[in-house]
Amino acid sequence: MQRRRFLLGAGALAASAAIPEALFAHTGGSSRLVLVILRGALDGLAAVPPYGDPDYATLHRELAIAAPGSTDGALALDNTFGLHPALAYLHERFTAGELIVFNAVASPYRDRSHFDGQNVLENGLAKPIGSADGWLNRALAALPASGRAADRAVAVSQNVPLILRGAAPVISKSPQATPDVDEDLLARLADLYSNDDWFSARLSEAVQTDKMVDGAGRAGYPDRVTAVARMAANLMRSDGGPEIAVIEAGGWDTHANQGGAKGVLAARLGGLDKALKSLADELGPLWPQTAVLVVTEFGRTAAVNGTRGTDHGTGGCAFLVGGAVRGGQVIADWPGLRRTALLDNRDLKPTLDLRSVFKTVLDEHMHVDANTLAKRVFPGSSGARPLSGLIRA
Amino acid sequence: MQAEIAVLRFGLGARPGELADAAGDSRAWLMAQVKGAAPLAVSTPLAASDQIFAGLLAARDERRKMKQESAAAATDAKVVNAVREAYQPHYRAQVLARAQSAALTARPFAERLVHFWSNHFAVSADKGVVFGLAGTLENEAIRPHLAGRFADLLTAVEQHPAMIAFLDNQYSVGRDSAAAHFASRRLGSELDAPKRQFGINENLAREILELHTLGVNGGYSQADVTSFAQVITGWSIGGGKGRLAGGVPGRFYFRDNLHQPGPKVLLGKTYTEEGVRQGEAVLADLARRPETARFIATKLVRHFIADDPPKGAVDRVARAFLKSGGDLPQVYAALIESPESWETDARKFKTPEDFVFSTLRALNVSPGQPEEVVRTFELLGQRQYTPGSPAGWPDTSKSWDGSDALMHRVLWASRVGAKYERGVEPVDLAASSLGAYARPETLTALRRAATSGQAVALLLMSPEFQRR
């Protein structure tokens, strides 16, 4: 697309003063973080099959992934866990020492509503209500100064999800192309918005973000999640681009006909794997300083339900991948799938709080200080102790 | 300002002359709209859900036959997409009729309430089986019951094939049902373990409790979800083959042989009804509970008044709900009678739907082609009938106010301006669509615009037009 000149009316210039020259100045060396939210509750027992657990095949039956070495078997991680065969790229990263696999993890939320579960995942509290802002936005305010622009995070969507909402300014940008809008109209709108802070802030943000991806080639990607991932990478690679990006992908709520090594969920996982590869490819030189955290609101039932799917559960899986990640590890204090070990006689029991992972990544990778993390970013999370050694020193 | 509030906040935006119609007794103007059913305002014939479903089954059979006949057909895009193709015209016709109805209706308050309930009882067309059926839930289950009792609306929705299919209840099977017994007897004699075990799917039961009635904090437990799922085993769709044949294809059908027999306990009460009556009795009770009244009241007040629902209005609407036994016109009246409804400063940021429908009404135009509507909503990020989740589209500004979203609105507004600029007098348009809400600086900008198309775009993108 054509480069859009910055042409805002006098009124909006005041509002856009928050976007200083520094946006276009080079500042280097700092870490990059991408958060991928899988909405709908990914079945962790399919994505990270515990093939070595004696109860796995009995409970997950036709949805279970066979042991490594068998036809359509899991991609081995260790003697207990593997990856779903559709996650070939992630497995390659594991072998290369760039992927940590978490299993039996969950947010502190213990009921089974998607929407409350996503709220807890994003608000960083123990309860679905009580905060109108997200933990990643609160962390933004505590990032060490970098001399970068005010907008240090981007939501790769038309609108900003809860995790990034809050006082710190963030931008949003979707991969759907907006062909050039008439410059004169934009200038006049900027003028019309000059008495309305809410509208003028958004317009100047939109104009600025549009400049970042000039020439990035946004149209024509066949796969939506891949398009979103590439857009995130393009934005992050632009001069003065954001250090943090949030990507969302839906379609994980597999109540019926979930499939095993092949089928509906396998296709979704393949799409995710491809998107993560595109993200790494497009980040290119930034990859060594990047960590990508993939999370979902909760896991699914250990047993198959009556319609060859799984219902809402609790413990699940998460991934941390990137050049900055001290990979090649599986982190799972595995409770087992025996009837008596299950939560409420149905779900994988979580043994690790996702907030422990979040805290550690923000501390080791983004250098947010521990006190701020405990008090402001994740208040009331003293039970969720930070881990160590997730990020390369 | 009473007329503006009635038309912009409770209706779908002003058509020329509508502000004058609503002037005087604006409350009476609104209440007159919520009497009786609320059919589409256009007479386009739309296929019914059972016809559409029958078409789907035929397309599936055809596909199966073609795959059996030739291996090449299995990868042929035309064959693979046969089901989608069977559905496509229905989806487009429903989306077009919806937009036309929103553009033209003389009962915009009723139409907005239809949209509200359709979003409350959301199904999503991005699930393959729902694609061609999504609009039928709104047209067949919601429109007829808009001004009836909540209990009847609820039952009509939960027994609609689009909802059953969306939340996977059609093959949810009781462990002790006739079908499960038959299968275990037969399969038990075989050497291999059964490939499939029969059991429940708790999706529909959970979402009825969480999203349709009590709300997530409504005091139910996992045991209640499981029990309710047992209660509604057998709530299915007619059609099918062999042992699953029965009922009229595409209509709600209670499959007694899948139903878990016996009494069940839910929220502390034992239900001894048999068959389909048991689930209907549970729905009738859920529809009367105070948690349901409060949950529905909160959602209505959030939709019509403010993102952060004022407690006084919620209390008033919840009381009316409980006292009237869920008589919807009395619930709507309580909303209209709440003083918070008539405050001029509390305005909601329009969703893409609000924006598009109010634009059509302001310009007094109705879309002629489905592509136009489908593409518009794709561009603006609210593909019709595709909220993606059973919770429906979010109903607060924060979910719609991204800067990227704003830029897409600017783009669409500029296209609309270019298309409809002929014969438009922008300042008059501001008056007829916004009344007293039009700000002097907007009128000045319209007068100074380079073209009347640009003026239309500026009007549509003005802060006062973007809010309702």
Query: Please, are residues B198 and B182 in contact by the beta-carbon 8 Å criterion?
Result: no
Beta-carbon contacts of residue B312 (< 8 Å; ≥ 6 apart): B338, B339, B340
The A residues from 13 to 72 touching B (CB cutoff 8 Å) are 39-40, 61-62
Nearest CA to B171 among B140, B209, B129? B129
Please name which of A191, A199, A188, A180 lies closest in space to residue B451, comparing C-alpha atoms.
Answer: A188
Q: Which of A73-77, A167-171, A277-281, B274-278 has the lowest mean pLDDT?
A: A167-171
B437 reaches A (C-beta below 8 A) = no
Residue A198 lies in a domain: no
* pLDDT confidence bin for A178, thresholds 50/70/90: low
Q: What are the Cα distances from residue A327, in Å, to A91, A195, A316, B263?
A: 11, 51, 19, 53
Q: B203 vs A306: CB contact, 8 Å cut-off?
A: no
B411 touches chain A (CB under 8 A): yes
Which residues 217-236 on chain B approach chain A with CB closer than 8 angstroms? 222, 225
Per the domain annotation, does A187 fall within a domain? no
pLDDT at B171: 87
CA angle B381, A193, A175 (to 5 degrees): 25
| Cβ–Cβ gap A181/B400 under 8 Å | no
Residue ranges of alpha helices (H) inside B70-177 are 77-80, 82-104, 108-120, 134-136, 150-158, 161-166
Q: pLDDT at residue A2 above 90?
A: no
- How many angstroms separate the CA of residue A96 from the nearest CA in chain B? 36
Decide: B140 and B160 in contact? Cβ < 8 Å. yes
Question: What is the per-residue pLDDT across A196-254, written as a single tens digit (0 to 9) for each?
Answer: 989 998 898 888 776 665 444 433 334 678 989 999 999 999 988 999 999 999 889 99
Whether A364 is covered by a domain: the verdict is yes
CATH number of the domain residue A369 falls in: 3.40.720
Measure CB to CB from residue A205 to each of B389, B403, B466 and give the nearest one: B403
**Sign for the pseudo-dihedral over CA of B5, B6, B7, B12:** positive
Cβ–Cβ under 8 Å, residues A279 and A233? yes
Minimal CA separation from A80 to chain B, in Å? 25
Does A309 contact B200 at a Cβ distance shorter than 8 Å? no
Exposed/middle/buried for residue B345 (C-beta within 10 Å: 0-12, 13-18, 19+):
exposed
Q: From the list A159, A171, A193, which residue is nearest B401 (CB)?
A: A159
In DSSP terms, A38 is beta-bridged to: A249, A296
Residues of B in contact with A185 (CB under 8 A): 410, 414, 454, 457-458
Q: Would you give the DSSP letter of residue A129?
A: S
Candidates B214, B403, B441: best to mutate against A (most CBs of A within 10 A) is B403
Q: For A310, list phi and psi in degrees, rounded to 5.
A: -135, 145
Q: Is residue A11 included in any domain, yes or no?
A: no
- Structural domains of chain A, count: 1
Q: Which residues contact B47 (CB under 8 A, 6 or more apart)?
A: B55, B90, B93
- CB contacts under 8 A, B 369-388 vs A, are 378-379, 381, 388
Residue A393, in any domain of the structure = no
Please give the angle made by the CA atoms of B214, B219 and B224, to the nearest 5 degrees: 85
Pairing of strands A352-353, A99-106: parallel
Between CA B467 and CA B111 the distance in angstroms is 18
- Chain A residues with beta carbon closer than 8 angstroms to that of B195: 62
Structure tokens at B186: 């037969």
- The phi and psi torsions of A247 (rounded to 5 degrees) equal -120, 145
Q: Beta strand pairing status for A171-172 and A153-155? A: parallel
| Beta strand B269-271 pairing with B264-266 | antiparallel
| Cβ partners under 8 Å of residue A272, min gap 6 | A36, A38, A87, A225, A249, A294
Considering only CB atoms, B402 lies closest to which of A172, A182, A198, namely: A172
Q: A16-52 burial, b for 16+ CB within 10 Å, e for fewer? A: beebeeebeeeeeeebbbbbbbbbbbbbbbbbbbbbb
pLDDT at A146: 76
Distance of alpha carbon A207 from alpha carbon A19, whole angstroms: 11
Mean pLDDT, 10 residues at a time, over chain B (468 residues)? 96 98 97 97 93 88 81 69 85 97 98 98 92 96 98 98 95 91 64 61 97 96 97 93 84 96 98 97 98 98 96 98 98 97 88 98 96 94 94 94 92 92 90 96 93 94 96
Higher per-residue confidence, B243 vs A277: A277
| Residue partners of B118: CB distance under 8 A and separation at least 6 | B137, B138, B142
Closest residue by Cα to residue B319 from B341, B337, B342: B337
Domain boundaries in chain B?
Answer: 167-305+308-346, 352-466
Residue at A20 is within a domain: no
Q: Which residues of B touch A174 (CB under 8 A)?
A: 381, 404
By residue range, what is the domain housing residue A245? 31-177+218-377
Please give the angle made by the CA atoms of B322, B326 and B328, to the nearest 5 degrees: 125
Q: What was the ipTM of the complex prediction?
A: 0.86
Nearest to B464, CA basis, from B448, B452, B451, B443? B443
Task: State pLDDT tens for residues A139-167.
Answer: 999 998 876 666 899 999 888 999 999 99
Q: What residue has token string 């960590």?
A: A291
- DSSP string of B197-216? ------HHHHHIIIIISS-T
Residue A367 in tokens? 């250098």
The pLDDT value given to residue B182: 80
Closest CA in chain A for residue B216? A113
Residue A29 has pLDDT above 90, yes or no: no
